[in-house]
């Protein structure tokens, strides 16, 4: 029986690298894969999953209107696996589609993304994945203090914490710092609004 997996972590933990390694493992064995990435994430090249260590692979972009199941089932060669980067940007309905891909069509789905935003709130896609995934896997990252980083602090150009704003603001190390809950809470207490 195929499963729906959710690999989650704070920013800069290596989620995309892990996804690309899984993709490589399938393809190395002659198996077809189907990769999706969020259209909103345009930090590198649109339609490309790129890791901070330089790995990259073309992917199909999704937005809130994308029917992931229809795209998957339209493939001429049935994929051995579906891999989704930036899964926090999925809608709840899209997560339901991914679950159906695994349950009804026997295709494993590996979704990679953030669990929470810069205010410690769940993203819609992450919340639904936490509810439905057969397997939840935390990819570990480290706070500057050495503890496990579980939170994503948004910072301004001067490195000062930002406590308010839109849930989604695309950025990497220049906009977000992975922290343990204690240091995240301390930083937000002194943040600008």
Q: Degrees (nearest 5) of the Cα angle 11, 40, 48?
A: 80
| 86 a catalytic residue | yes
Is 105 labeled as ligand-binding?
no
Question: Is residue 68 assigned to a domain?
Answer: yes
Question: Is residue 96 assigned to a domain?
Answer: yes
The residue to which tokens 């992975």 are assigned: 178
Instruction: Give the number of domains in the chain.
Output: 1
Q: How many residues does the chain have?
A: 193
121 contact partners, CB below 8 Å, separation of at least 6: 167
Q: Residue 168: what pLDDT?
A: 65
Is 81 labeled as ligand-binding?
no
Is 9 labeled as ligand-binding?
yes
**CA-CA-CA-CA torsion sign (162, 17, 61, 69):** negative
Both tokens of 139, joined, read 């990819």
Question: Is residue 79 assigned to a domain?
Answer: yes
Both tokens of 79, joined, read 């994929």
Q: Domain range for residue 103?
A: 4-140
Say how many C-beta atoms besides its own lie within 10 A of residue 54's C-beta.
Answer: 7
Q: Is 100 helix (H, G, I), strand (E, B) or coil?
A: helix
Question: Is residue 97 assigned to a domain?
Answer: yes
**Paired strand residues for 151:** 179
In the chain (193 residues long), the average pLDDT of successive 10-residue segments reads 95 91 97 94 71 84 96 94 97 98 97 92 96 96 92 82 70 76 86 55
Question: Is residue 107 assigned to a domain?
Answer: yes
Question: Is residue 27 assigned to a domain?
Answer: yes
Q: Residue 88: what pLDDT?
A: 96
pTM of the prediction?
Answer: 0.89
**Paired strand residues for 114:** 9
Q: Is 84 helix (H, G, I), strand (E, B) or coil?
A: strand
Question: Is residue 152 assigned to a domain?
Answer: no
Q: What distance in Å separates the CA atoms of residue 188 and residue 118, rounded to the nearest whole number?
A: 10
How many angstroms from the chain centroid is the CA of residue 135? 15
Is 63 labeled as ligand-binding?
no
Do the strands 48-50 and 56-58 form a parallel or antiparallel pair, or are they unpaired?
Answer: antiparallel
CATH number at residue 71: 3.40.50.300
Write the DSSP symbol of residue 29.
T
Q: What distance in Å separates the CA atoms of residue 173 and residue 175, rounded to the nearest whole number?
A: 5
Q: Residue 167: what pLDDT?
A: 72
Do the strands 33-38 and 151-154 form a parallel or antiparallel pair, or are they unpaired?
Answer: unpaired
Is 14 labeled as ligand-binding?
yes
CB 38 within 8 A of CB 89: yes
CB 152 within 8 A of CB 118: yes
Q: Which of 86, 138, 173, 174 is catalytic?
A: 86
Question: Is residue 127 assigned to a domain?
Answer: yes
């Amino acid at each position: 029986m195929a499963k729906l997996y959710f690999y989650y972590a704070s920013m800069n933990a290596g989620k995309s690298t892990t996804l690309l390694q899984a993709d490589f493992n399938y393809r190395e064995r002659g198996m077809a894969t189907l990769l999706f990435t969020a259209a909103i994430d345009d930090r590198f090249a649109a339609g490309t999953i790129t890791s901070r260590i330089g790995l990259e692979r073309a992917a199909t972009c999704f937005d809130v209107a994308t029917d992931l199941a229809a795209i998957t089932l339209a493939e001429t060669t049935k994929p051995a696996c579906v891999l989704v980067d930036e899964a926090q940007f999925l809608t709840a309905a899209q997560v339901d589609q991914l679950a159906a891909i695994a349950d009804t069509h026997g295709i494993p789905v590996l979704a990679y993304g953030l669990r929470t935003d810069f205010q410690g709130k769940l993203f819609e896609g992450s919340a639904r994945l936490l509810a439905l995934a057969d397997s939840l896997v935390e990819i570990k990252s480290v706070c500057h203090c050495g503890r496990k980083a579980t939170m994503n602090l948004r910072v301004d150009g001067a490195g000062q914490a930002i406590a308010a704003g839109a849930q989604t603001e695309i950025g990497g190390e220049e906009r977000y710092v992975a922290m343990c809950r204690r240091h995240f809470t301390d930083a937000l207490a002194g943040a600008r609004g």
